[in-house]
Amino acid sequence: MNLVVTILMLIVLWLLMTLGTWLWVIMTAKSTGVLLKSAEFADKISEESGQIVDVRESASYKRSHIMGARNMPAMNFTQGKSGLRKDRDIFLYGERLRDVIRASKSLKKQGYDKHSIFLLRGGFAQYNGKKTK
């Protein structure tokens, strides 16, 4: 009986840790930009004349990317000079939300307004808008 209770406690602990991590990622993303689902992201891109930035590595970008995007791997943002215009919206996407958050945090530190930074929730694989290849 003790084994069953121990296993159940471990499962509950694992679930709580997973939920906590997920909530932390979502809250961090919302504090650095506007988090959008795939359809919202695609609609916003088509409505605005913003800067679309793919934060994945170059090889992934070359295979396929969102139409009109430019490649700026997430690690480049930590150097402090993004070269992006502050007067236009910025649309960030990558493989994982963690990479996009890293880039948006750097932009926010450089003085970009978090309300003009849009983050794709779910990553490039979930994006249903126009892509190359």
Query: In the prediction, which pLDDT does 90 show?
Result: 95
Q: What domains appear along the chain, each with residue ranges and CATH number?
A: 2-126 (3.40.250.10)
Q: What is the DSSP string of the chain?
A: -HHHHHHHHHHHHHHHHHHHHHHHHHHHHHHHSEEE-HHHHHHHHHHS--EEEE-S-HHHHHH--BTT-EE--HHHHTTS-----TTS-EEEE-SSHHHHHHHHHHHHHTT--GGGEEEETT-GGG--S-B--
Place of tokens 């690690």: 75
Which ranges of the chain have pLDDT less than 70?
A: 78-82
Query: In the prediction, which pLDDT does 79 show?
Result: 65
pLDDT digit string, tens, across residues 17-46: 888 877 777 777 777 899 999 999 999 998
Q: Can you tell me the distance from the alpha carbon of 86 to that of 25, in angstroms, rounded to the nearest whole number? A: 25
pTM: 0.80
Query: In the prediction, which pLDDT does 80 show?
Result: 62
Q: Can you tell me the distance from the alpha carbon of 39 to that of 82, in angstroms, rounded to the nearest whole number? A: 26
